[in-house]
Each structure stands twice: as C-alpha cells, then as structure tokens.
Amino acid sequence: MQRFPLTPLSLVCSVALLATACGGGSTVDEDVEGASGSVSGSLNAGYVSAIDQIGLPVGTEIGYFEDHGLDVTLADPFPTGVDAINALEAGEVDIIQVGVPALAAAGEGVDLALVGNYTGSAVQRSIDETAAIVAAEDSGIDPKDLTTLEDAKIGTTFGSINHLYLLGLLKDLRIDPDDVEMVNTAPPDMPVALETGGIDAAVIWDPWPITITDQVEGSEEILRGGGYIPFIGYIITTPEYLEENGEMVEAFLTARAATDQWIRQNPEDAADSAARWLTGTEPDVAQAAMEYNIAQLDGRFSACNYLALDTVALLLEEQGQLEYETDINDLFVPGPILSVEENNPELFDDLPEVPNTAEIEADHTFIREVDQEACAV
C-alpha cells in the first residue's frame, strides 16, 4: 500500500497542537434531544488534535451523531493531516478532517472525496481569522504601517498555512518575499525564538498567537486575519466508502452541521469542551481562540470553496511546494452536503447566505475564470 511521505505540507491548516487528546478510541453515549432519522450504522472517524477540528469530538460528546443514528468511534487524534490520510487509505478510519495535505495526497494518487468543510467559508474566497502575527516588543514593526515588515526576521513554518498567510500579506503589501528573512520555525518553538531575538515576529494560527502573547513579555499581536488567503479544511472520505455508504455519510454531515451550529451559538461551552479534548490547552486560551474559530465554521459548499482550494494550490505551486496537476473537480463531491442544506435549512440559518452567483449544483464543474466571477468577494 502506498504511503506518501511526511512533508512540510503535513503542517498546514489544522496542525496538531498536541499528539494526544482525551477520549481517543471511544464513543460517548449521551442522550440528546433531537430528530432521529432512519439511518443506523457505525463508522470510525479521525481528526487532528487542533482547535478548528474540535467539532468531531464535540459532536460525539453532546450526542448529535447518536441522535442521527450513528455510532461514531473516534480514532486517537492524529498528529498531522498526512497521518490521517494514511489511516484513511489503510481503512483504519472511514471519515477524516484534513486541509491542504489533501492536495499533496491527491497528487500522489490517493483517491479522496471531499464532502464538506470543517473550516472555511461558502460566502467568500478568502477568510483567515484564525491566523495572526505576533511581534516582539523591540522588533521595530509598526502595526499601523506593516511595510515595516521589510527586512524583519519572521518566523513561519515552511509549506504550511501560516507560510501562505505571510506570503499573501507580503503580496498585498507589495513586498518581495526575498526582502524579508523567513525563519522556518515550528509553532512550539516560536515563543522562545521571539523572546531570545531569533525572530522579530511570528506568523501562526490559533491558539499560538494567544499563547505567545501570554508567554512573551511585551509581545503584541499586530495583525489578525485580513482576508489575505483562504483557510481550507475538509471532511473527507474515500469514493468507495461514499458509494457504499451514501446515507451514512449524509447523516454524518447532518450531525456535523448540527454540531457546528451548536458551537457557533455556544462558543463558551464549546471552548470548555475543547479544553477537555485538547490536552494541555488552558480554558482561557480555548475561550479566546474559539471566538475566531466560529467565524470560519461553515460546512457548506459553493463555488467559493472550489476557488479557495485552487487559490491555495496555486500559492503552493508558486513557492515550489506542490506540483499542481490535480483536477479539483475529481476531489469535490458536493451532493451529500447540498442535500443536507436542502433538507435541513435550519442548521445553517445563522450563517450568511451564499451569494446567488456562487450557489452550485451536485454536478458543478470548476472553471477558474467562471468561479472567480461567481465568488467575487
């Protein structure tokens, strides 16, 4: 069986905060009120231990999967998205949550079916509220004039979503990437690097910006979000599993949509749950990070999601991190989530409406120029 190698892309999007979390390998049995469907079955699901992937364990904890006829067993949290894809390919899990590593896997010939989002947006191409830049007190970087990033030593993780966030920002500022000193830095090493002067600023995803400002005296968050890149994260299965278990996949997505809405409407309770599942995450850090996480908690598909994946692939290709030869139409399978949206509109009524031009059908075909017009925001 083919296993594609662990590369810098394994760190992208939802990178593991920790390698372990509570509750792995078990199913939580709780009686939760709600509609019960005719679907009944069991499946194994996997996730990376990160704040933006918390919807899967939360859904088991509060009983939404059971409420929709599913007995969901969670695999132990994966350290990276690459590990999750390897487990899916090996048949150890049926459904996973993965972001950019899906592009590398598809390029290696792994058969994947993207059936929903765990993070992203169906109403705009670029959304990056969970990314931020933290600068040291004496960095000389002016938050009111970000062109002062030029010549700075900036810690980022090469090939990861925070690297792409930095590149997107520099492009907007019209700063040549060669005019800054990028230092390849793993997230756990960023606080020390910033404190000791190894870097002037750290570009990273939540909860690290919050953690760093707590740990490094005088450090300051100088930028958050801004719409410089799309954050992408997908609910993924295999085409074979989807073909054989279409009703279960749709029930899974319905339960996830219910869970996501609960998280959006109850961010404090969701943060408390995240602190329990993500070992080592302090409750106050989880609370702060959750406020940003819910801004990207949109499970729907539209032309914007196709365009987001294409945009990320082009950025990675530009930096030599990816050979973009995959037809993303071969990856997206929008039918199941579109059915969930049609049959359960109340689960999405707290979200902004998808622009009419960006709405898609189950047989949508991505054409870059057309979808750019459809998702112009």
**Structure tokens, 165:** 């966030």
Q: At 322, is the pLDDT very low, low, confident or very high (cuts 50, 70, 90)?
A: confident
> Which residues lie closer than 8 Å to 213 by C-beta, 6 or more apart?
134, 219, 220, 221
Q: List the CATH code of the domain at 131-224.
A: 3.40.190.10
Q: Is the pLDDT of residue 286 over 60?
A: yes
In this prediction the pTM is 0.82
| Nearest-angstrom CA–CA distance, 245 and 266 | 31
The pLDDT tens digits for 197-210 are: 999 999 998 888 99
| Nearest-angstrom CA–CA distance, 203 and 76 | 28
**Contact (CB, 8 A) for 337 and 299:** yes
Mean pLDDT of 164-191: 92
Q: Mean pLDDT score of the chain, rounded to an integer? A: 88
Q: Quick check: helix, strand or coil at residue 194?
A: helix
* Tokens 């929903």 belong to residue: 116
Q: Is the pLDDT of residue 106 over 80?
A: yes
Mean pLDDT of 307-315: 92
**Structure tokens, 21:** 């979390």
Q: Which of 155-159, 186-190, 193-197, 315-319 has the highest mean pLDDT?
A: 193-197
Considering the chain, what percentage of its residues have pLDDT values greater than 70? Answer: 90
Identify residue 114 by its one-letter amino acid code: L
Q: What values do phi and psi take at 244, rounded to 5?
A: -85, -20
CA 120 to chain CA centroid, nearest Å: 7
- pLDDT, position 219: 97
Q: What is the dihedral of CA 325, 329, 331, 336, to 10 degrees?
A: 170
Sign (positive or negative) of CA dihedral 174, 177, 181, 183: positive
* CATH 3.40.190.10 domain extents, the chain: 8-125+231-374, 131-224
What is the CATH architecture of 8-125+231-374?
Answer: 3-Layer(aba) Sandwich (3.40)
Q: What is the dihedral of CA 181, 184, 187, 189, to 10 degrees?
A: -90
